[in-house]
Amino acid sequence: MDYRHILCAPLCLAAAAAATAASPWLHRLYSYRPAPGQFVNDLPEHEPGDTETEMLAKAEELLCGDKTPGTVTLGAYGGYVIVGFDHPVANVEGQRDFVIYGNAFSRDSSSRTGSSEPGIIMVSEDTNGNGLPDDPWYELAGSEYNNPATQHSYRITYFRPDTGRPADADPDPDEKYITDRTYIRYTTNDPAKPEGYVRRNTFHTQEYWPAWLAAEETLEYKGACLPDNYVNIGSGGSDLFVQRSYGYGYADNISNDEELGCDISWAVDAQGRPVRLGGVHFIKVYTAVNQDCGWIGETSTEVCGGEDLHPEAEYTPTGGVDAIAATPPRPVILSAAGGTLRVRSAVSAQARIYSATGTAAALALLQPGDNDIDISALPHGTYILHTAAGSAKFVCR
């Protein structure tokens, strides 16, 4: 008997399976539209004559095919990328589904300070089947979604500076590192901060306006704007800005080795109602804060790659709009005192409690009506109660 034929069949099948296996890494960049910023035209590098298509290809090379192949800046508030894998990311019940990697780092893990430039993550399912990101988008409700200081209908417009404006057109007499304090003007719909400027500094002297969009006089973005997360810990008249990371649910928020990823079940529609998705084909990330940190410059989300945490999982398409409408209301926290968390639920549901850092802390089964959960063993701190219908924050004292 020729044993070579016996061995060949499984080997060939294994090779075929390997060839068609879903990659865990990002595969395609559909759109790259950064807002003005100090790293724009550098990450990726714009060379004279580069078109939008060529810049898209450069950015795609820095984001796709490996865990963290490079770095792409999104610029100031609103700048974004739209990316996807070579397969739909399945929504696996009770698990985090994917990670978007950035370049955040912590200088002090206990206070969660360092460089945190959070980007909001949105997801979309290819319900019309055309392979393009033109279907409804849903925000993943991170830890600050219900923060009263978060603005959910924020709009900003940037105005292109004059061509050839000198790098030192308007230096700041009080901040020697700022060479142009009125470089790129913007307006917003926030009455508390209706206008401002992206300022130019000595560390980055190139143009901050995307060079391949030079023909556009304005750039407009809209979305949610998170509260400022910077703290000035300088002393003796010197500024030292650090940025505190948020609890969970954002890109470029905590260091990659601490990042646990995102759960597609966090998705909500424009009215904040939970959405049930079988999986997603497209992921959008945009810079979610509008703040200036002195000589460090504007806060800009950077994206360095992405990973499907279970690429072998089977994707089941969502049942359509009816499935979204049938989503029950999210649980309501009634009280958290005396070692007991009282929760009101509209349906029977499994509830998981996460710490502010995203660590699973407890599991409970909710019944319709009011439920008492024993939290006496939890250390003092902020926690998230999460169910398939949505999340709620509480403080354990």
Which helix (H) or strand (E) element contains residue 333?
strand 332-337
Q: Which residues of 227-250 are buried (b: 16+ CB within 10 A; e: fewer)?
A: eebbeeeeeeeeeebbbbbbbbbb
pLDDT score of 1 more than 60: no
Looking at residue 111, its pLDDT comes to: 64
Q: Residue 25: which of 89, 81, 90, 85 has the closest Cα?
A: 85
**Residue 67 structure tokens:** 């865990």
Looking at residue 293, its pLDDT comes to: 93
Distance CA 276, CA 384 (A): 19
Distance CA 173, CA 221 (A): 31
Distance CA 322, CA 264 (A): 18
Higher pLDDT, 6 or 312: 312
Higher pLDDT, 301 or 93: 301
| Segment 333-343 mean pLDDT | 88
Average per-residue pLDDT for the chain: 89
Distance CA 179, CA 345 (A): 55
Beta bridge partners of 170: 180
Quickly state the pLDDT bin for 16 (edges 50, 70, 90).
Answer: very low
Q: Residue 112: which of 315, 343, 382, 377 has the closest Cα?
A: 382
pLDDT score of 104 more than 70: yes
pLDDT score of 388 more than 90: no
Question: For residue 348, what are the contacts with CB-CB under 8 A and spacing of at least 6?
Answer: 365, 366, 367, 368
Q: Residue 116: which of 125, 107, 124 has the closest Cα?
A: 107
Looking at residue 264, its pLDDT comes to: 96
Mean pLDDT is lowest, of 155-159, 163-167, 359-363, for 359-363
pLDDT by residue (tens digit) across 201-228?
Answer: 999 999 999 999 999 999 999 999 999 9
Q: Residue 30: which of 123, 139, 132, 135 has the closest Cα?
A: 132
Instruction: Determine the number of helices (DSSP H) and then strands (DSSP E) in the chain.
Output: 3, 28
pLDDT by residue (tens digit) across 250-287?
Answer: 999 999 999 999 999 999 999 999 999 999 999 999 99
**Residue 206 structure tokens:** 């190139």
| End-to-end CA gap in the chain | 74
Length of the chain (residues): 397
Higher pLDDT, 330 or 352: 352
Could you tell me what percent of the chain has a pLDDT over 90?
71
Looking at residue 323, its pLDDT comes to: 41
Looking at residue 109, its pLDDT comes to: 60
Looking at residue 248, its pLDDT comes to: 94
Mean pLDDT is lowest, of 50-64, 102-116, 172-186, 374-388, for 102-116
10 cis-preceded (ω within 30 degrees of 0): no
DSSP string, 346-378: SS-EEEEEEETTS-EEEEEEE-SEEEEEE-TTS
Q: Which CATH number fits domain 328-396: 3.40.50.300, 2.60.40.3080, 3.90.1150.10, 3.50.50.60?
A: 2.60.40.3080
The amino acid present at 341, given as its one-letter code, is L
Higher pLDDT, 277 or 331: 277
| Segment 66-76 mean pLDDT | 99
pLDDT by residue (tens digit) across 32-52?
Answer: 999 999 999 999 999 999 999
Looking at residue 335, its pLDDT comes to: 86
Domain range list for the chain: 28-308, 328-396
pLDDT score of 391 more than 70: yes
Which helix (H) or strand (E) element contains residue 14?
helix 3-20
Looking at residue 381, its pLDDT comes to: 86
**Residue 28 structure tokens:** 């395609």
E runs forming strands in 150-266: 151-159, 178-188, 195-201, 218-225, 230-232, 241-244, 250-251
Looking at residue 331, its pLDDT comes to: 82
Residue with tokens 């509008």, as numbered in its chain? 290
Looking at residue 259, its pLDDT comes to: 92
Strands 305-308 and 98-101: antiparallel
